[in-house]
Structure 1
Amino acid sequence: MHTQSLATRILRTRFAKRVWRKLFGAQSWAKRAGTFREKEAHGLIQRSNYAYGMLRAADTAKFFGKSAVTACEFGVATGMGLINMTQLAELIEAETGVKFRVVGFDTGAGLPAPSGYKDHPELWSSGDFSMGDPDLLRRRLAGKAELVIGDIKDTIGAFTRTLTTDCPLGFVSIDVDIYSGTVAALQGLLGQCEAYLPAISFYLDDVASYFSNEACGELCAVDEHNAAYPQRPIYSDKSLPRGRFEPFADWYRSMYVGHILDHPYRNHARERGSLSLQDHLKFMAALR
């Protein structure tokens, strides 16, 4: 461990970094000696979509003076994504100082029966992606995440009421596959405005397949949500791939941002001193 630490310190010197990147490339250097942020920007962190979205949430929370943030996964299945989310929460807390509340939602029995064409019955059937034993998953989570079992439409209201200004919602992964489940999950965006960050990173899993379209599934649910709640719209993440070293990663198309347009921070300027042009560039660069 000591030898690795020394090697890393050497590789992080300006000269060694320049030489290594010249000989082997920037990604190779980041893999061996990069910081968490450098590895994340190169797509070297497991489950890159979660790493990106959760780091966005932590950075945004810190930017607005919050020390904790909530991250949710809708559609837990066997729990690999939720477990990975808890691991990322620890890494990102070490990087940013922002703590995470991690919450997973699942029926526990797989997908409900599709109720019409919007639910993609040509793709999905009742019982797909069953969790198995929820208690076993809870033991594996070891208290690092909350697991909410039941139909999302029946559990989302109670959860939304637990969101607070001290630990606002900042990242959401929706992997429920069907329209009706997505509609239910998006009800979680309708609580008190200050229970959310002004901008929330979203990962939508089922929006880029051959069958994906705005008349069905998650895309349809988002379009209907935007029409019904114009002050809480969800749009594609316009910042990608800026600042990253993978210009065409598939998951970029699945990243969205939920905008809380009635949030006080989006309606009144925060008190701070005036900025020079250079200071303003630094101020905006905090969120890339």
Structure 2
Amino acid sequence: MADRSALRADCGRCVALCCVLPAFSRSADFAVDKPAGTPCQNLRDDARCGIHTRLVASGFPGCVAFDCFGAGQRAVQVVFGQRPGGPPPPSALLAQAPDLPEVLNALRGLHEVLWHLTEAAGLLRPGPLRDEVEALRGSVAALAGSGREELAHVDVGQQRRAAGPLLEHASRALRADVPGRTARHRGADLSGRRWRGARLRGADLRGALLLGADLREADLRRADLLGADLRGADLRGADLTGALFVTTAQLDAARGDASTRLPDGPLPVWRGLPGGGPHRDTAGQRV
């Protein structure tokens, strides 16, 4: 698998931008209302979350399901050059750089596209399709490396639209030789579905809602899970070997254990932990 280390969130090199910049409303995902640009009530003075070990129990599953794909540390460390002496608090950084929200949103979108294109490029056989994927990956990477003025005005939607068909073709090519590949549930609402032990090898689950689904011991080998909502899904004992376009945030929002077989790349916080639920250490870092 191609290296995607630069596309992984590193909270220790950021300043909790995701806890300050976005607005969120009281809902099933967030226990409180928070205006944009104001620190979350759970944010500590050291820019770490005070309830990271109990986010879901405290009513903040939306935080578990969020991933900046490394955009936070890139914005702080590279775009705004805050490495010497350490970055200021997020509120101070926002005052210095009012375009920070636009830059962060652009970087996050570009990094997410890069996450998937990098995976596809690393899995495809040499040929025209891989060449197209590599070419687009190069142009998106160049955009992500732009300065703050260009990033603040970049059209992330255009990059997603360009990547969509290529990722679709890549998915078909990578699943073409899966025996008995017939399951197609793209965009379907499968919330709460009882699929324990289901044979979903090579299935198209792109964009499917799998909230709270029972997928224990399910065969999800080489299934396409791009954009699938796995919040609360039970993946204990499931086999996701070779599953396509899976992100760390998707797995973090699900429930698994040491018997869950994972695709290369994403490493959920529950890997190897008793109980297999979303978990963070007291410093807000992955364990």
More helix by share: 1
More strand by share: 1
- TM-score, scaled relative to structure 1: 0.26
Bigger Rg, structure 1 or 2: 1
Larger relative contact order (CA 8 Å, sep ≥ 6): 1
- TM-score, scaled relative to structure 2: 0.26
